[in-house]
């Protein structure tokens, strides 16, 4: 059984590791935006959502496409 950071054959996957790191960094950025924008919560929430989707969206799309390609092979 392969773990999350491994492909279906059990090999370590650097693309999954990089994707995970990018998503964690996006969560940290969003947390910082929420913290520093706590005077105006609505604007801060919109900004945090925007920065998360902007940073983590391409990484999540890449991981989805990579998993789809692995399943086809």
The rounded distance, in Å, linking the Cα atoms of 40 and 20 is 30
**pTM higher than 0.85, yes or no?**
no
Q: Which pLDDT does position 1 carry in this prediction?
A: 52
Q: H-helix or E-strand containing 63?
A: helix 41-72
Q: List the structure tokens of 15.
A: 């693309």
The rounded distance, in Å, linking the Cα atoms of 51 and 43 is 12
**What tens-digit pLDDT sequence spans the chain (73 residues)?**
567 777 777 788 888 889 889 999 999 999 999 999 999 999 999 999 999 999 999 999 988 888 888 777 7
Calculate the alpha carbon distances from 73 to 2, 9, 60, 67, 70 in Å.
16, 11, 20, 10, 5
The rounded distance, in Å, linking the Cα atoms of 2 and 9 is 7
């Amino acid at each position: 059984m392969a773990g999350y950071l491994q492909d279906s054959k059990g090999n370590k996957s650097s693309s999954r590791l990089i994707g995970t790191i990018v998503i964690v960094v996006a969560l940290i950025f969003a947390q910082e935006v929420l913290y520093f924008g706590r005077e105006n919560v609505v604007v801060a929430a919109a900004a945090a959502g925007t920065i998360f989707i902007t940073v983590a969206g391409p990484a999540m799309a890449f991981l989805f496409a990579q998993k789809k390609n692995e399943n086809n092979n």
